[in-house]
């Protein structure tokens, strides 16, 4: 006897037009296991596919603004039914998911989970704290920052499958806007500099979709300074600063302890018996 799925997901699948629609990627979303989905395909022109909602948006607008505007138009149409779902899943059409992606994230029972291009948002979090999708250069970042401000660091997929993402495209204006948002969220300036430096140093070891242009941190800092001059911040910035700093220190302590114990075990017997990576 098949038991009903605990998780019912409203999936908003984003693709621009017929040329950008990738069948394999769509099917990786459609065929998710362990959840029940209602999938709506959002595009800028009509597509020959079920539950397609075409939202014409001026191409002159930046891509993040177009995406946020389209999502809000659809969510307004579905507003009365949103509470029938446990989660909202926003996924880009250039992402290919492992088949347990959604259930893996849903089981973590956090306000949000995943990454910006494939983001799972709990309905209570969306309805109580967001209300609508933020229209911003940094829409996904804003949602993550809001989650952190209430003490929940967004977990990522940690199943056995492989999440396939395109490389990050560099836009100087977007990185500049991110810098402004970093200030408004409450990120400490020292932490921004440390994280930017670490990303540059770790560049070769980052996953392909995590790599950023070396100019990006410079525009982040420039935007941050601009934000400082304007002095505008979100009402929750102090909470974000606390939890963001706490998470960084906790991670740093873990890495130091890991390095210390690895060196200690190597001194004992060459690291064979006590190697914590085994």
Q: In what order do the strands lie in the sheet with 118-122?
A: 52-54, 36-43, 8-14, 87-92, 118-122, 112-115
Q: How far is CA 84 from the centre of its chain?
A: 23
Q: Enumerate the domain spans of the chain.
A: 8-149, 167-268
- Low-confidence residues of the chain, pLDDT below 50? 1-3, 265-278
The residue among 75, 183, 198, 208 whose CA lies nearest residue 131 is 75
pLDDT of residue 203: 58
In sequence order, which residues have a C-beta less than 8 Å from that of residue 162 and are 6 or more positions away?
Answer: 98
Q: What is the pLDDT at residue 263? A: 56
What pTM was computed for the model? Answer: 0.86
Question: Residue 112 forms beta bridges with which residues?
Answer: 121
For residue 38, the model assigns a pLDDT of 96
Q: What is the pLDDT of residue 215?
A: 81
CB 170 within 8 A of CB 216: yes
Query: How far is residue 155's CA from residue 84's CA, in Å, rounded to a whole number?
Result: 24
Which superfamily, per CATH, for 8-149? Spore Coat Polysaccharide Biosynthesis Protein SpsA; Chain A (3.90.550.10)
Check residue 204 and give its pLDDT. Answer: 54
pLDDT of residue 209: 52
Q: Is 5 exposed, middle or buried (0-12, 13-18, 19+ CB in 10 A)?
A: middle
277 in Cβ contact with 265 (< 8 Å):
no
Which 3 state secondary structure label does DSSP give 32?
A: coil
């Amino acid at each position: 006897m098949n038991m009903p799925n605990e998780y019912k997901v409203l999936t908003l699948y984003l693709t621009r037009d017929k040329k950008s629609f990738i069948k394999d990627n769509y099917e990786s979303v459609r065929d998710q296991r362990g959840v029940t989905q209602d999938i709506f395909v959002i595009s800028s022109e009509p597509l020959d596919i079920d539950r397609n909602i075409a939202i014409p948006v001026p191409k002159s607008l930046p891509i993040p603004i177009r995406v946020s505007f389209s999502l809000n138009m659809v969510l307004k149409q579905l507003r009365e039914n949103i509470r029938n779902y446990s989660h909202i899943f926003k996924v880009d059409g250039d992402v290919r998911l492992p088949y347990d992606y959604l259930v893996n994230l849903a089981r973590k029972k956090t306000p949000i989970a995943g990454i910006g291009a494939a983001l799972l948002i709990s309905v209570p979090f969306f309805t109580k704290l967001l209300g609508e999708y933020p229209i911003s250069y940094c829409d996904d970042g804003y949602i993550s920052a809001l989650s952190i401000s209430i003490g929940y660091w967004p977990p990522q997929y940690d199943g056995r499958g492989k999440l396939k993402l395109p490389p990050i495209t560099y836009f100087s204006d977007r990185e500049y806007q991110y810098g402004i948002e970093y200030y408004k969220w409450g990120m400490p300036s020292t932490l921004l500099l440390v994280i930017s430096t670490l990303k540059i140093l770790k560049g070769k070891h980052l996953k392909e979709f995590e790599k950023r242009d070396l100019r990006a941190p410079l525009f982040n800092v420039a935007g941050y300074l601009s934000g400082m001059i304007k002095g505008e911040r979100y009402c929750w910035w102090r909470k974000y600063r606390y939890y963001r700093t706490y998470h960084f220190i906790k991670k740093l302590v873990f890495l130091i302890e890991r390095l210390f114990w690895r060196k200690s075990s190597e001194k004992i017997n060459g690291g064979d018996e006590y190697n914590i990576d085994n």
